[in-house]
Structure formats: C-alpha cells, structure tokens
Amino acid sequence: MVLVGARSSCSPLARRDGAAQLRPMVEIVNLGWARKQLAKRAAEQEAAANRARFGETKAARKLREAREAERRRLLEGARVEKDGE
C-alpha cells in the first residue's frame, strides 16, 4: 500500500467537547486496485469509441440487411422488361 498526500502526519480534529481527535491526512491506496481501475476505465473508453465507430449491434445489422434484401427482391419482382432488353 502507498500513502498518497504531502504529509503523513495526523491533524487534530476539534470535537464539540473541546477534545482533539486525530485523523489521518492521507488516503491509503492499494496500487493493484488502482491499476485495475485505470485499465477498466481505459477499456470502457475504448468500447465506447468502438460503439460509436461501428454504430450498430449484430442483431440490428442483420435486421437492416434482411429489410434491404426484401426491398431489393420486391423491386426486382416489379421490374418491367422491354423487348430490347
């Protein structure tokens, strides 16, 4: 564990009854936990960027492609052929 802060001493905290209570001036941080949190935040940011870049889920893409295929099939079925073609 690492102590984070400028001073590692304790500062007095006044209570209502006039007695001083000591409280630490630093926060103890587990470096393993801090590294994992940093990696987790980076992964979340990358995932958000990928969602924005690629834009749609696999299910939404399949639905869009199926609708486009149906539209093309209907359009091709309604095509009128001329004698010259």
pTM over 0.75: no
Domain extent at residue 13 = 2-77
- Looking at the domain assignment, is residue 84 inside a domain? no
CA distance 24 to 42: 31
Domain count for the chain? 1
- Looking at the domain assignment, is residue 83 inside a domain? no
- Looking at the domain assignment, is residue 85 inside a domain? no
- Looking at the domain assignment, is residue 82 inside a domain? no
pLDDT bucket at 26, cuts 50 / 70 / 90: confident
- Looking at the domain assignment, is residue 47 inside a domain? yes
- Percentage of residues in the chain with pLDDT exceeding 70? 72
- Looking at the domain assignment, is residue 50 inside a domain? yes
- Looking at the domain assignment, is residue 21 inside a domain? yes
First to last CA, the chain: 81
- Looking at the domain assignment, is residue 26 inside a domain? yes
Residue 23 CB partners (closer than 8 Å, separation 6+): 10, 11, 13
Query: 10 Å Cβ neighbour count for 35?
Result: 10
Burial class (CB in 10 A: 0-12, 13-18, 19+), 29: middle
CB 25 within 8 A of CB 34: no
Q: Tell me the range of 35-44, 50-59, 70-79 where mean pLDDT is highest.
A: 35-44
Asked whether the CA dihedral 28, 32, 37, 39 is positive or negative, the reply is positive
Indicate the DSSP class of residue 7.
-
Average pLDDT over residues 34-46: 96
**pLDDT of res. 2:** 53
